[in-house]
Structure 1
Amino acid sequence: MARMHTSRRGSAGSDHPAADEPPEWSDVDADEIEARVVELAEQGHSASEIGLILRDEGVKGTPIPNVKLATGKKVSEILEENDADPELPDDLYNLLVRAVRLYEHVEENPQDHQNKRALQNTESKVRRLADYYRGDAIDEDFQYTYENAVELI
């Protein structure tokens, strides 16, 4: 599949190994995993960061290679059940952070035309994604502006 704002094609990503049950060496109880997920969310970590922390550190020293295999639920589902989900979806939040960073860079370096174009593309993605989430995950009257993005971040 081609990229959104160029005619180039993206490089293929890696696939998870095909598995339908957690490995034997990772025998942590599902309730302990869910408690750790909620604890990490309360510390301010996003769902993707929680997955990385569980992969690296695990629960009580035992790594969790795949939360869905171990618990039967995704990290985001666990967060929704425990009312610990973030106010913005992760993809929209990450795009807002990128847009704010690019905006500030372009303000300091007005002749950086390449990053002006990158800012336009990023803002376009933010607006498109906001239309997708409008009414469900974000307010119905949400409009992207630099000031709104700074407030949300």
Structure 2
Amino acid sequence: MARMHTRRRGSSSSDKPVADEPPEWSDVDEDAIEQRVVELAEDGHSPSQIGLKLRDEGVQGTPIPDVKLATGKKVTEILEENDAEGDLPEDLYNLFERAVRLREHMNENPGDHQNKRALQNTQSKIRRLVDYYRGDELDEDFKYTYDVAKEYLE
């Protein structure tokens, strides 16, 4: 797939191996995995960080290579069931962080035209994602501004 804001093509990468069931060495109970996912979410970790922590640290000392194979549900589905999800989708939250960081940089360095363009591109992505999420995960009258982004990050 082509890049959004440049003329270059995207780079190809490897795919995850196809697996139908979790490995036999990872035999942790589904309820224990779900409890650990909720605990990590309450500690303030995002779904991707939760997946990395389960892969590296595991549950009760046993690593969990793939939560979906072990439980039959994605991390975000587990969080939705237990009402432990965040206010914003993770991708939108990350773009908010980037936009605020770029805006603060632009206030200190007004002549930095390259980062001015990066801020414009990031805000464009944010507006596109807000349109996608509006109604489902965001309010119907949600509008992106710098102040709104800063408020969500605090």
Which consecutive residues of structure 2, in runs of 5 or more, have no partner in the other structure? none
The answer to whether structure 1 residue 62 and structure 2 residue 62 are counterparts is yes
Paired position in structure 1 for 2:139:
139
- Match of 1:60, SS state, is coil
- Match of 1:124, SS state, is helix
Say how many residue pairs are matched. Answer: 153
- Counterpart residue type for residue 19 of structure 1: A
Paired position in structure 2 for 1:93:
93
- Counterpart residue type for residue 79 of structure 1: L
- Superposed CA RMSD: 0.7
Please give the per-residue CA displacement for 1:33-81, whole angstroms capped at 9, x wherever unaligned. 0000000001011111100000000001100000000000000000000
In structure 1, C-alpha distance between the alignment counterparts of 2:13 and 2:129, rounded to whole Å: 22
Displacement over 4 Å in runs of 4+: none
Which consecutive residues of structure 1, in runs of 5 or more, have no partner in the other structure? none
Paired position in structure 2 for 1:78:
78
- Counterpart residue type for residue 37 of structure 2: V
Paired position in structure 1 for 2:32:
32
The answer to whether structure 1 residue 53 and structure 2 residue 43 are counterparts is no
Shift of 1:139: 1.2
The answer to whether structure 1 residue 117 and structure 2 residue 117 are counterparts is yes
Shift of 1:14: 2.7
Q: TM-score, with normalisation over the residues of structure 2?
A: 0.97
In structure 2, C-alpha distance between the alignment counterparts of 1:14 and 1:66, rounded to whole Å: 17
Q: TM-score, with normalisation over the residues of structure 1?
A: 0.98
How many percent identity over aligned positions? Answer: 76
Shift of 1:13: 2.6
